[in-house]
Amino acid sequence: MATELSIEEKKALIESNLQEVLNPEIIDAVLKEGRPLKIYWGTATTGRPHCGYFVPCLKLAEFLKAGCNVKVLLADIHAFLDNLKAPIELVKLRAEYYKLVITELLKAVNVPIDKLTFTLGSDYQLTPGYTMDLLRLSTAVTEHDAKRAGAEVVKQVDNAPLSGLIYPLMQALDEEYLDVDAQFGGVDQRKIFALAKDVLPRVGFKERAHLMNPMVPGLQGGKMSSSDPDSKIDLLDTPDDVRKKLKKAFCPPKQVEENGVLSFTEFVLLPAGTLKYGKPQFVVERRDAEPLVYTNIKQMQDDWRNDVLTPQLLKPAVTDALIALLAPIQAAYKASKEFQEIEKKAYPPPPAPEKKKKVKKDKGTFYPKKVEAKPDGHVEGADAAKVNLGTEGGEKAIETLTLGEKS
């Protein structure tokens, strides 16, 4: 029988490896009450999920170990609002795909799925009560503050659509409608969290705590992004693809900062070592010497700065460990026809170049002919407006977005 963790042990697990916590006293108060802390993590269902998703999922595992109740919000409507990154005709399919992928990803890192709750934004964000509360909230937030809050999360463009201002307000309001004590996310969402902390009390709702992961650099340095295929590894990338991407990854010797490979080891592979070794551990094999065994990132960083651990040693070790971590996810994908069909429809390939003899090809019901799919999942072309916004009015849009029947 598992030993009940003390309040101090639960708090240490909840706050481990975080960059910042806002309103930690809320967490303390809940733990002292003796009830589980209620946390939600939201992800907008836009581009294809990549290996960066291991970072929040490993943190979710720590929340669960600390006895927290965890909700995963599949933010389908947010995906549509973020500068049309997910066209309205594809939002439903992408949300289904995200649920399948995240479920398998969590299983791959031994997170017990029965203790998690998946919630779709469209299940409650289309209700009259939510709409009225969103309108009330909009009267308490200026255009300047809403734009500033979403600056690091919502895609920034000239002459931006108003939907980008609605996005952070909804993320704040979700805390109330999901009935949580805390929201978890990357530190890039700090301004949205600060907005929620400030404005929810203005409309009669309580403040929540906010827990923030540091951002993991992409393989080419800078932020890991779905729109840059070389900055990240897709969860369905083949072993050969993984090897090619890691071979050319930005991994300068002796440099710790902005080193995507070293950071991925810190936030994913070291914690995931628990699956293999029973504790956080990462092993780097050496041809003519004993392997380097690391149990914390400080050891690795010191060896990296001193050139004991080099790119020639680290890259192959990371490659092998990542391929092994992806294997069960890819096996689940190959074993499920439903999984494969949803993936193809959610992210249809761009049209093939025209040939002399035209052959009609089935690209899925939701894929128009005169558009081009971009790497981050949005589409461009003559028919882009039809798939982005829909053409059959609000009732049809709600029907397209609603996933309640399938969740």
Reported as a single tens digit per residue, the pLDDT across 305-359 is 999 999 999 999 999 999 999 999 999 999 999 999 999 999 887 766 666 666 6
- Does residue 266 sit within a domain? yes
CATH code where residue 198 lies: 3.40.50.620
Stretch 376-381: mean pLDDT: 66
Least confident of 47-51, 186-190, 371-375: 371-375
Share of the chain residues as helix, strand and coil, in percent rounded to the nearest 5: 50, 10, 40
Structure tokens given for 243:
């090897």
Domain boundary among 188, 213, 238: 213
Sequence-ordered list of residues with C-beta below 8 angstroms from that of 287, at least 6 positions apart, any chain: none
- Does residue 345 sit within a domain? no
Give yes or no for a contact between 56 and 41, defined as CB atoms under 8 angstroms apart.
Answer: yes
Sequence-ordered list of residues with C-beta below 8 angstroms from that of 90, at least 6 positions apart, any chain: 345, 346, 366, 377, 387
Q: Where are the beta strands (DSSP E) in 14-122?
A: 20-22, 38-44, 69-75, 116-120
If asked whether residues 205 and 263 sit together in one domain, one would say: no
If asked whether residues 28 and 123 sit together in one domain, one would say: yes
- Does residue 63 sit within a domain? yes
Domain boundary among 164, 183, 213: 213
pLDDT band at 40 (very low <50, low <70, confident <90, very high): very high
- Does residue 187 sit within a domain? yes
Structure tokens given for 193:
């969290």
In terms of Cα–Cα distance, which of 225, 277, 220 is closest to 251?
220
pLDDT one-digit tens code per residue, 103-152: 999 888 888 878 789 999 999 999 999 999 999 999 999 999 999 998 88
If asked whether residues 208 and 316 sit together in one domain, one would say: no
pLDDT one-digit tens code per residue, 16-38: 889 999 999 999 999 999 999 99
- Does residue 349 sit within a domain? no
Sequence-ordered list of residues with C-beta below 8 angstroms from that of 53, at least 6 positions apart, any chain: 43, 101, 102, 105, 235
- Does residue 351 sit within a domain? no
Structural domain including 186 reads 7-213
- Does residue 348 sit within a domain? no
If asked whether residues 191 and 52 sit together in one domain, one would say: yes
CATH code where residue 252 lies: 1.10.240.10
Residue 44's CB is within 10 A of a number of other CB atoms, namely 26
Give yes or no for a contact between 217 and 224, defined as CB atoms under 8 angstroms apart.
Answer: yes
Q: Is the pTM of this model over 0.85?
A: no
If asked whether residues 84 and 50 sit together in one domain, one would say: yes
Q: How many Å separate Cα 308 from the centre of its chain?
A: 33
If asked whether residues 33 and 70 sit together in one domain, one would say: yes
In terms of Cα–Cα distance, which of 113, 11, 12, 18 is closest to 72?
113
Domain boundary among 181, 213, 245: 213
If asked whether residues 184 and 324 sit together in one domain, one would say: no
Structure tokens given for 107:
């299983």
In terms of Cα–Cα distance, which of 298, 300, 319 is closest to 310?
300
If asked whether residues 333 and 209 sit together in one domain, one would say: no
pLDDT(1) > 50: no
- Does residue 87 sit within a domain? yes
Quote the CA–CA distance of 15 and 17 in Å, as a whole number: 7
If asked whether residues 64 and 147 sit together in one domain, one would say: yes
- Work out the angle at residue 58's Cα, subtended by the Cα atoms of residues 61 and 8, and round it to the nearest 5 degrees: 55
Q: Where are the beta strands (DSSP E) in 261-355?
A: 282-284, 292-294
Number of domains in the chain: 2
73 bridge partner residues:
42, 119
If asked whether residues 168 and 241 sit together in one domain, one would say: no
In terms of Cα–Cα distance, which of 246, 181, 232, 190 is closest to 214?
190
Residue 105 to residues 68, 90, 97, Cα–Cα distance (Å) = 19, 22, 12
Quote the CA–CA distance of 2 and 296 in Å, as a whole number: 25
pLDDT-above-90 percentage for the chain: 59
If asked whether residues 62 and 208 sit together in one domain, one would say: yes
If asked whether residues 247 and 333 sit together in one domain, one would say: yes
